[in-house]
Amino acid sequence: MTYSAFLRCFEGCPGEHPLHAAFYRCPKCGGLLDVVHDVEALKQRGARRWIDLFQDRRVDGRYPYDSGVWLRREWVAPEVGDASIVSMGEGATPLVKAGLLGQRLGLEQLWIKQCGQSPTGSFKDLGMTVLVSTVVHAMRKGTLSVRAVACASTGDTSAALAAYGARAGLPVIVLLPRGKISTAQLVQPIAAGAKVLSLDTDFDGCMKLVRSLAESGLVYLANSMNALRLEGQKTVAFEVVEQLGGVPDWLVVPSGNLGNVYAMFRGFELLRTLGLIEKLPRLVAAQAAQADPLYRAWSAGKQEVAPVVAGETVASAIQIGNPVSAPRAMRALSATSGVVEHATEQEIADVGARADQAGLYVCPHTAVALSAVEKLRGRGVIGVGERVVVVSTANGLKFTDAKVRYHEGALSNVVSRFKNPPTELAANEGAVADAVRALTGA
């Protein structure tokens, strides 16, 4: 059996376009594109036999099947052969039950999907392995010639592209908003040898510039407007269903440019098409109140998302005012009875600190999602016994600056209610013993 996939207009224009060429938008209407699989071919294998195949590969565990993305390669990028795969064991991340934190937020069943436990520390690796592998495949076939792959980034996309590009020997160019990403994120592409253009603008400004570079053919575009990225990201849905042993009632996604929430929808939708699940989870797109164009549109009952100028937020990876995948997100929400929620800087800081104190060391974006959970639970939208999965999008270790400032009480406009600064004292036995007594109530 051969499996195949192609690009199709998201808005419904007729025609199919190959994955192995530089298509980012519909040539007819300029709209977004979807990767569409030959599901009839996939269905012929049957749900049970797919599960068995993946199980065998997992037991084997050899490259590239140590990757959660390539484990299910027929569902993701069926035409990319072994020799073109550029993988670093991405995906296959833990789904952690957050019992104590769940209790504190009023939930019996809260789970965290740890997508930040990944080669470059964010879920962006899932999409980038597919994009870079497909580019390598197309270059070998001779259907694509690429001088450089490029992206605009709020930090994590560039870290992932730089690493996967370096692995593949592809030149990488990244456009970053100067002063708006964490040190850890900035140093990742620099260390990987990418050419970093640090620009005096915000993410939306960088995005506009990289799109015009791509349109003029100077670079190959690696932002999530490129539908290939979403193919890798959708594997989170496959893993969640497997690890939970079923479909959660809610899946909560920190959302900025809005590609990932749609990728989740596409993943669950494929599982349903193949007969592996019957219902879809309700999706929650969680935004920072400082950068919440989707929240504003959704709350006003509008289908069109009007751009805003994104204000500064500690959740810097979602500091986006003009999300490219807004129409995709709207479709995902309407197909899943989804909800949009937002969180203020104070709410992000509070719930982030409480999550950390339950042992989770969350990134600020995950805190945005947790705040959304707390608010939806508080209003009774999410029921006490419902199964809730929060997609943790990045590793907390990338956001040391923000955590240090929180515990120093130095974040502007935020009260550090749960701060836990170190006690400084002389290194003598009496003083230390007194301190321990005071701290333990002895």
Ligand X SMILES: *Cc1c(COP(=O)(O)O)cnc(C)c1O
* Residue 258, binding choice from ligand X, Zn ion, none, Cβ under 5 to 8 Å by partner class: ligand X
Whether 360 and 292 have beta carbons less than 8 Å apart is answered as no
Please give the Cα distance from 74 to 234 (Å, whole number).
13
Q: Which of 122, 133, 290, 313 binds ligand X (CB under 6 A)?
A: 122
Through-space distance between the first and last CA atoms of the chain, rounded to whole angstroms: 70
- Stretch touching ligand X by CB under 6 A, among 42-50, 138-146, 165-173, 257-265: 257-265
Q: Shortest CA distance to 245 belongs to which of 355, 109, 339?
A: 109
Pairing mode, strands 387-392 and 109-114: parallel
- In eight-state DSSP terms, residue 394 is B
| 438 touching Zn ion, by CB under 5 A | no
- In eight-state DSSP terms, residue 82 is G
Please give the Cα distance from 366 to 352 (Å, whole number).
8
Q: Taking CB under 6 A as the rule, which mask of x and - marks residues 379-418 in contact with ligand X?
A: --------------xx------------------------
| 235 touching ligand X, by CB under 6 A | no
* Residue 32, binding choice from Zn ion, ligand X, none, Cβ under 5 to 8 Å by partner class: none
| 17 touching Zn ion, by CB under 5 A | no
- The residue (of 260 and 416) whose beta carbon lies closer to ligand X is 260
Please give the Cα distance from 377 to 381 (Å, whole number).
6
The gap from C-alpha 169 to its chain's centroid, in whole angstroms, comes to 25
Q: Taking CB under 6 A as the rule, which mask of x and - marks residues 319-348 in contact with ligand X?
A: ------------------------------
- The residue (of 30 and 46) whose beta carbon lies closer to Zn ion is 30
- The residue (of 18 and 205) whose beta carbon lies closer to Zn ion is 18
Q: Which of residues 140-169 bind ligand X (CB under 6 A)?
A: 156
- The residue (of 224 and 416) whose beta carbon lies closer to ligand X is 224
Whether 288 and 318 have beta carbons less than 8 Å apart is answered as yes
* Residue 9, binding choice from Zn ion, ligand X, none, Cβ under 5 to 8 Å by partner class: Zn ion
Per the DSSP assignment, residues forming a β-bridge with 250 are 282, 388
Distances in Å between the alpha carbon of 307 and those of 29, 38, 154? 20, 35, 17
* Residue 163, binding choice from Zn ion, ligand X, none, Cβ under 5 to 8 Å by partner class: none
Which secondary structure element, helix H or strand E, spans residue 369, and what is its range?
Answer: helix 364-378
Q: Which of residues 243-282 bind Zn ion (CB under 5 A)?
A: none
* Residue 223, binding choice from Zn ion, ligand X, none, Cβ under 5 to 8 Å by partner class: none
Q: Which of 9, 86, 163, 192 binds Zn ion (CB under 5 A)?
A: 9
Residue 119: is the preceding peptide bond cis (ω within 30°)?
A: no
Token code pair at residue 208:
């506009």
**Residue 17: other Cβ atoms inside 10 A:** 14
Q: Which of residues 20-39 bind Zn ion (CB under 5 A)?
A: 26, 28-29, 31
Q: Which of 72, 124, 331, 342 binds ligand X (CB under 6 A)?
A: 124
Q: How far is the CB of 23 from Zn ion (least distance, A)?
A: 11
Q: How far is the CB of 10 from Zn ion (least distance, A)?
A: 7
Q: How many residues bind Zn ion (CB under 5 A)?
A: 7
The burial of 438, by beta-carbon neighbours within 10 Å (0-12 exposed, 13-18 middle, 19 or more buried), is given as exposed
- In eight-state DSSP terms, residue 17 is B
Amino acid at 315: A
- The residue (of 144 and 320) whose beta carbon lies closer to ligand X is 320
Q: Which of 260, 313, 319, 371 binds ligand X (CB under 6 A)?
A: 260
Please give the Cα distance from 374 to 104 (Å, whole number).
9
* Residue 29, binding choice from ligand X, Zn ion, none, Cβ under 5 to 8 Å by partner class: Zn ion
| 259 touching ligand X, by CB under 6 A | yes
Q: How far is the CB of 184 from ligand X (least distance, A)?
A: 12
| 363 touching ligand X, by CB under 6 A | yes
| 290 touching ligand X, by CB under 6 A | no
Please give the Cα distance from 317 to 215 (Å, whole number).
25
Please give the Cα distance from 363 to 367 (Å, whole number).
7
| 255 touching ligand X, by CB under 6 A | yes
* Residue 256, binding choice from Zn ion, ligand X, none, Cβ under 5 to 8 Å by partner class: ligand X
Please give the Cα distance from 64 to 47 (Å, whole number).
22
Q: How far is the CB of 306 from Zn ion (least distance, A)?
A: 22
Q: Shortest CA distance to 252 belongs to which of 315, 342, 325, 322?
A: 342
For the chain, the maximum distance between any two Cα atoms, rounded to a whole number of angstroms, is: 80
Q: Shortest CA distance to 398 belongs to which of 125, 206, 16, 15?
A: 125
Residues in the site for ligand X, rule: CB under 6 A? 122, 124, 156, 224, 254-260, 317-318, 363, 365, 393-394
Residues in the site for Zn ion, rule: CB under 5 A? 9, 11, 13, 26, 28-29, 31
